[in-house]
Amino acid sequence: MQRVLELVHEVRSRYPQDSFFIDFESSCNEKRLKREFYSSYETTLRYLDEDAWRILKSKAIEHFLDHRLGQLKTGFFNHLNEAFAYRYLVSHGYSNVVFLPEKQGSKQPDLSFRLEGTPGFCEVKSIGISDDEIGRRDSHECINGSVYANLRLEFMNKLQSTIARAETQVSELRESSIIFIVIEFDDFTHDYLAEYRKQLHEFLSANLVSNLILQVGRFGEAINA
């Protein structure tokens, strides 16, 4: 995991008092799920050219201390998720795919690209697990799997608001822009993925959102609007 290890090394140098990546190498060797989690990033990060890797790495490290209540390093991983959009674009015939550096006090899309000579932009968003799921995992209690059987109204509302926020960031460029959303479901085993996929297709059909791509988890497929 060359690029992941490079990132971990630079995080340790920047934040020497932070223990998040302590014993990272040995724990990845010992814990299969952790190794698979970071391997999914490594596979994706290999698609980045050197300039793209430098910019994305800088953005992720800058947000390493951004946390969500009950979930560490949210900003860090949300920025790393931009790599999934980069991989999608270069794998689907888009050229000149470039990460756009953050600008203080202003909002702009995360990536730019060209498709058949036409310039475009891509805004990347991430939807993480719900507050309820954070509570379930913290409780360490046995959970009835039926709570994951369907995507709840709260999730659909979150998806809709996330799309709306993304649209404001590409509003002046909507015709040539893409919204790419990485979704992490509460059901991390994806036992109910077929039902989720059906619900998402129904949502997209009902809302008529154009140029929207949903990636189902870090290992999952992309669903196009």
| Entry pTM | 0.90
Domains in the chain (CATH in brackets) are 1-64 (no CATH), 81-224 (3.40.1350)
- Report the alpha-carbon angle 180-121-196, nearest 5: 10
Residue 172 is predicted with a pLDDT of: 64
Residue 13 is predicted with a pLDDT of: 95
Per-residue pLDDT tens digits for 119-142: 899 999 999 988 888 888 777 667
Question: Residue 97: enclosing H or E segment and its boundaries?
Answer: strand 95-99
Residue 118 is predicted with a pLDDT of: 86
DSSP H helices in the chain = 2-14, 24-30, 32-45, 50-62, 74-80, 82-91, 131-139, 153-169, 193-207
Per-residue pLDDT tens digits for 26-80: 999 999 989 988 999 999 999 999 999 999 999 999 999 998 877 889 999 999 9
Instruction: Determine the Cα–Cα distance for residues 201 and 224; give it in Å rounded to an integer.
Output: 9
Instruction: Determine the Cα–Cα distance for residues 122 and 114; give it in Å rounded to an integer.
Output: 11
